[in-house]
Structure formats: C-alpha cells, structure tokens
Amino acid sequence: MAQCVQSVQEFIQDSFVPMVAVLCSEDAERVTRKNNLSFPELLRPFCRLTSEGHLRDPNNQVVVVKGLRISVTGINTRPPQSPELHRLLSQAVSVCQPPEGSPANVIAAGDYDLNISATTPWFETYRENFLQSMPASEHEFLNHYLACMLVVSSREAVPTEQFLKLSQEQHRIQHSGEYTHPKWFIPNTLKYYVLLHDISEGDEQRADSVYEDMKQRYGTQGCYLLKINSRSGSTGADEQMPDPWSQYLHKTSIHNPELYEESAVSNAVENNIGAEEDGLNPSIRDGVSETHPLQLDHPTDAGYPGNNASQSVNNVDETRPQKQASGTSHTSPTPRGTCLTLNDHDHMRQFIQEFTFRGLLPHIEKNIRQLNDQLVSRKGLSRSLFSATKKLFGGGKVPEKSIAELKNTAGLLYPSEAPELQIRKMADLCFLVQHYELAYNCYHTAKKDFLSDQAMLYAAGALEMAAVAAFLQSGAPRPYPAHYMDTAIQTYRDVCKNMLLAERCCLLSAEILKSQVKFSDAATLLIKMTSEDSDLRSALLLEQAAHCFINMRSPMVRKFAFHMILAGHRFSKAEQKRHALRCYSQALQVYKGKGWTLAEDHINFTIGRQSFTLRQPENAVAAFRHILINDSKQSAVQQAAFLREYLYVIISPLYFQNSVNSPSSS
C-alpha cells in the first residue's frame, strides 16, 4: 500500500473515539453563528488533547491516555443513507487529486524505474469519511454517545431554567423510547453544562456570577464558562487570523454535503464534456457498454462525446449539480471565526482539556469500575475478567466449524442488561481510553460467549476488536491474530450480509498487515473485498493492492501494473476520470516497449479517450498517434476505429483552439 500520513496506531485510534453530543439553546447557537459555525464545528479543531490524561482501572493500575481525540457532534446528527453516502464518498475522492508539480517518486524495481504516487491522499480521504459515516449498531457501542454538552448563552434571562429544559430534552431523547437515533453508551449519560459568554456584547460580571451559581448546582467537575467572540470590529480589522476549521470541516464533510457542491458541478461538466458534439464520432456512438478492462472491440466511455452515461450507485447524482450550477459564479469561501482571537482559540482548547480531564475520563473510569463490579458479582459469570490466565485468555482459536456450518442467528438481539453485552460495553470503554490489554481480555471473553450462542453479528464484532486490541497492546505481548479478522470479514459479508462492517474490517486489517511488512497478505485481503456492488470501493482497494505488490521486498512489477489497470477500469466506471487516467498512465510505464502490443494499444487507447474527456487534447493525440505509427497486430476493423478516433480528436474544436493558443504553434 502507499505511504500514509498517519501511523497505523494513530489511524486506528482516530477511527474509534469517544462520542459527545451537543444540545444548544437558540441564543447559544446565535452566538456561535456569528462565526459562520455551529457549536460542534467551532470546537472541532481543538478536540485533540495536547497533554496526557490518566485514569485507574478496576485493579487500581494507572492507565495513561495519550493524544486522545474526541468527537463532538450535534445531537441530531445522523450518518447519510446508502445512496447519499455513495454520492458523498465519490465527491470526496473526486476533489482529492495529486498536487500539481509534486516531486516525482521513482521506484527502482529490476529493469524498471517507475514514477508512481508515493502517497494516495484520495484513499485516506475516502477511508476517513467512510469510517466517520458508520451508523451506530446494536452489537457494539464504540460510536454511541458517552456524554452530552448542554450549552446556554449567558444572556438568557434565567440560564438555569434553560439548562433544566435542555437536560429534560436530552433525557426524553434518550429514555422515552420515541427515538431510535441517536444511540447512547450507558443509561447515566454524562451531562456537562456549558455557559457560553459573548464578550463583545455580554455582561462579564453577570456571566461570572451565573457560573458561580452553576458550580454550586452541578459541581466544579460538571460545568464550564466558555468566553468567546472577543474580537470587535474596530480591533485588528486588517489582521489575518488563521482558519483552522477549513481542513476539519472538509475532512468531516460527509456530514456537510454542501461543501462538495462546487466540485459536483465541475465533475458533472467533466463527465459530460463534448455532449453537444454528438454525432461526430460514429465509432463511439455505435458502441456497446464497456464490460471488461482489456476489451478493445467497440469500446465506450460514459464521459466521452456521443455516449449516454449509464447510471449506477457510484455515479454522481447530476440533478443536484445542475440545480446548483447557476450559483457557481460566486464560490468565494465563507469566512469563519471572524469574531474570534487567538485567545479565544486558546479558551476553546482549554475547555476541551477541562471537559475531558475533569468530566469525561472520570466518568468513563467510574463506569468501567461499575461494570466490573456487576460482572464479577453476577452468579452467571463464574470467572473474573481480571485474573487473566493463559487458560482463559491465551488466544483460543475459533471453533473448528466453518462459518458456513454455523447457524445463522445474525438477527439475535440480547437484552440491554445481558452480561454478554455488559462485557462488550466494558471492552469498548477500555478500548476508547487506550487500555488495550483489558479491552482484549473482555473482547476475548465476549467472543466465546457470542460464538457459543451462535450470535454471529456480535461474535464478528468481538473478533474484529479483539484483533485490533491485541495489535495495539504496548510491547506487543501477543501476535496480531489475523485469522480473527479473516473470520470477522467472512461473517460480516457472508452471514450477516453487511458489507459496511466487512469493509471496515478490511481497511483496519490491511493497514495493520502493511505495518508488519506483510504486503502479500494485505494485497490478498484488499482484492478479496472487491465486488460488483461498488466500483469506487473496488477501484480504491485494487489501487492499494497494486501498491502492496510494488512495495514487496522483491517488487512484483507486472502484478502492480495489472492491478493498476483494473483499478483504472473501476475508477472509470465510477466516473472518476482523473484517477482512471492516472492509473492507466502509471501502468503504461511497465507495458511500454516490452512487445505486449495488444495490451499497450489498449492502454494508449484508454489514455487517449480519458485525456480528451479531461480537456487534454495534446495528450490524447500523442496516445492515439502511438497506436497508429507502429506495426499493428489489431484487426483491420479495429485499426480503422483507432484512426477514426485519432481524426475525431484532430478535427475537434478543442484541439484546434489549443493548437492556435500554444506558444510553440507557427
């Protein structure tokens, strides 16, 4: 796989973080909207701890929490449904392209010097957005809310009454039974009371007085006075303030689809370029749908002039871009944080630190202890989770029965107080605060119980997280149990019919295998997860598999090139023209001049068509010319089709215009 910006440990830790809901009063929302941000958006750049946290486990051992990130979202935030998720993931990949003029990464592999991408940020963007979009599930608690911030403005007539209303609203949402979403980790959700004070228009003495009253009511550990908007219009009007929000909002834009409107418009234009020239190219107009990456006879391309684009679940929904196209002339970015100073940034950073250290971590520690006491005291649980002997926790294997032989009880639901679920809940709490050894022991115990009940969805979840927890344990006391992940993937995919969870397993396991220099195993896993239900996912995974082949100790150059072609084919079907062109161009380095003329013809033909679609007529002409100037092994019919393509590009207005405007033209 290509190099990633984050280490595998950082990637996994950021994929599973404590979830915190936000419930704001109307006036508090008005205060934050002065910065063109909601309250959760306001906090997002400051949600990673800059110092260590500490808590004690049930054995009274100190657990050190480093680099913890928390996720703060509105209480009504819901992950997108499947069609919208496909569209947003497609846009996330489309807007992330290799930077112009980026330095070449040359890999020497045998007789080849290959210029390929060192990193694939489009894959990391897809992966991050995908993982953040995972819906809350009944079989795990990792993305259930642990706490809720109740936010009230200091300008309220009686702030304590507003806090009471918000508290009652949160209680109703969680306990009334009227809502299936959001989902909550534990019944006694932590409520953290935040008094939001607008310095530019509020009475600071009154805010301080209200806060003193809050500390008496809720305790110093349960409330906070956050002062913001200290920048007035007259001070620092010409000062350029940093905008730390843009990168975070783009990273989490799976919940902010409006950020992708502009790219959706350009993508729609790109994929329909030349439609007005329909009829100029009969060899394309009369073609059939492209069904195989190496098929040359009568090829078609949905983005090429004269073809009707076929719709699939991966295609960008073009109704929205057309609707928005009239508004793209004013695409200047909305300024954010215009009422904030650097001191305000520090205040928000300090607020998150205080909330986590004085509120969230003690709350988690208390609940881990309570769950431990309940589990150990239950008559039905005859063993202690914390006398972890080799017999109980020594990495027992999955039963000899294959997954196919096990009874399908994927729909089984445990009651909320079932000891099996309490063990899973405790495991998830330990995992979120980086106590991986205890988390592994709990997952391992839960896995045995779930397999015994043949509750396969729960068993797969426990196997998945047991494998991850084993890998993350400091000092690596036990090897990474890859067979746990393999079983989890097979169960999710074949028994539970849940491709989202199977894909999550694949993304986690592939990154772990890569970190252990097991590129062959990682490539095999990635290829297995390709399927016909998602061209975009298949393209991304095939590209990563290609990078695995080229990064082996003995690089497998031909496998790299072949899988890049497969990736390019799937990118093209997913309407990702630029990524498709990049994949084919990188693969051409391997096939060029090696005597594999049919393969080279196919690649050049595809590069020519994609280049023209992307308004690169010079590159298109060069690719088509290469097919025509050498001795061809193609049939006469196919050679005639190539010639028609070449002539079509030559006489196109786009090529003529570029030739006239070129400085080198005579």
Nearest C-alpha neighbor of 258 from the set 396, 428, 88: 88
Between residues 162 and 273, the one the model is more confident about:
162
Three-state DSSP class for residue 72 = strand
Q: Output the pLDDT for position 297.
A: 41
Cα gap 116→104, rounded to integer Å: 7
Integer Cα distance of 84 and 79 in angstroms: 10
| One domain for residues 429 and 355 | no
Do 370 and 435 fall into the same domain?
Answer: no
Q: Residue 364 domain-assigned? A: yes
Q: Give the pLDDT score at 345.
A: 95
> How far, in Å, CA of 272 to CA of 641, rounded?
22
Same-domain status, 466 and 347: no
Please give the structure tokens belonging to residue 534: 């998602």
d(CA 14, CA 545): 23
Is residue 404 in a domain?
Answer: no
Q: Which residue has the tokens 């809502």?
A: 179
| Amino acid type, 544 | Q
Residues contacting residue 193 through CB under 8 Å, at least 6 positions apart: 150, 152, 163, 214, 218, 222, 223, 224
Output the average pLDDT for the chain: 82
pLDDT value of residue 176:
92
354 and 423 share one domain: no
Q: Which residue has the tokens 């899973």?
A: 424
- Is the model's pLDDT at 141 over the cut of 80? yes
In a domain, 441, yes or no: yes
User: How confident is the model at residue 665, as a pLDDT?
Assistant: 43
What pLDDT, in 10s, does the model give residues 383-422?
445 444 333 333 444 444 455 555 545 556 788 889 999 9
- 423-450 pLDDT, tens digit per residue, is 999 999 999 999 999 999 999 999 999 9
On whether both 55 and 145 belong to a single domain, the answer is yes
Measured distance CA(114)–CA(106) in Å, rounded: 5
Mean pLDDT of 126-148: 94
138 near 410, Cβ under 8 Å?
no
Q: How confident is the model at residue 318 (pLDDT cuts 50, 70, 90)?
A: very low
Given 497, 516, 535, the domain boundary residue is 516
Rounded to the nearest 5°, which phi and psi values hold at 543?
A: -65, -40
411 three-state secondary structure = coil
Whole-angstrom Cα distance, residue 368 to residue 146?
12
Are 346 and 419 contained in the same domain?
no
Task: Give the residue from 469, 488, 516 where a domain finishes.
Answer: 516
Instruction: Rank 72-86, 326-340, 635-649 by mean pLDDT and report only the highest.
Output: 72-86
CA distance 344 to 339: 9
Tell me which DSSP letter residue 257 carries: G
Q: Is 596 contained in some domain?
A: no
Whether 636 is in a domain gets the answer no
| Domain co-membership, 156 together with 226 | yes
Q: Which residues, listed in sequence order, are joined to residue 229 by a DSSP beta bridge?
A: none
- Please give the model's pTM, rounded to 2 decimal places: 0.84
Q: Which residues touch 433 (CB under 8 Å, ≥6 apart)?
A: 18, 53, 55, 63, 65, 68, 361, 364, 365
Q: How far is residue 407 CA from its own chain's centroid?
A: 33
Burial zone of 406 (CB within 10 Å; 0-12 exposed, 13-18 middle, 19+ buried) = middle
- Give the model confidence (pLDDT) of 99-112 as tens digits: 766 666 777 776 77
For residue 317, give Cα distances in angstroms to 85, 371, 566. 11, 47, 24
213 within 8 A of 160, measured Cβ to Cβ:
yes
* Domain boundary, last residue among 467, 497, 516: 516
Tokens 């929000």 label which residue? 245
CATH number for position 344: 3.40.50
Q: What is the DSSP string of 196-222?
A: EEETTTS-HHHHHHHHHHHHHHH-TTS
**Can the peptide bond before residue 653 be classed as cis, meaning omega within 30 degrees of 0?**
no
507 and 359 within one domain: no
What are the φ and ψ backbone dihedral angles of 497, each rounded to 5 degrees? 55, 45
- % the chain with pLDDT above 90: 60
Residue 664 inside a domain? The answer is no
Instruction: Give the confidence band of 657 by pLDDT, cuts at 50, 70, 90.
Output: low
**How far does the chain reach from its first CA to its final CA, in angstroms?**
46
Number of domains into which the chain is organized: 2
On the 0-12 / 13-18 / 19+ scale of CB atoms within 10 A, 28 is: buried
Please indicate, yes or no, whether residues 443 and 499 belong to a single structural domain of this protein: yes
The helix/strand/coil state of 152 is: strand
Compute φ and ψ for 108, nearest 5 degrees. Answer: -90, 120
pLDDT of the residue at 504: 98
Give the CATH number for residue 450: 1.25.40
104 lies in some domain = no
- Do 296 and 638 form a contact (C-beta atoms < 8 A)? yes
**Residues 356, 489 share a domain:** no
Higher pLDDT, 165 or 234: 165
Give strand pairing partners of 22. 74, 149
Q: Are 343 and 470 contained in the same domain? A: no
Contact 326, 221 (CB under 8 A): no
Does residue 652 lie in a domain region? Answer: no
Instruction: Please indicate, yes or no, whether residues 436 and 488 belong to a single structural domain of this protein.
Output: yes
Of 232-246, 285-299, 305-319, the one with minimum mean pLDDT is 305-319
Q: Given the structure tokens 């049930």, which residue do they identify? A: 58
Domain hosting residue 442, numbered range = 414-516
Beta partners for residue 74, in sequence order: 22
- Quick one: pLDDT band at residue 371, thresholds 50, 70, 90? very high
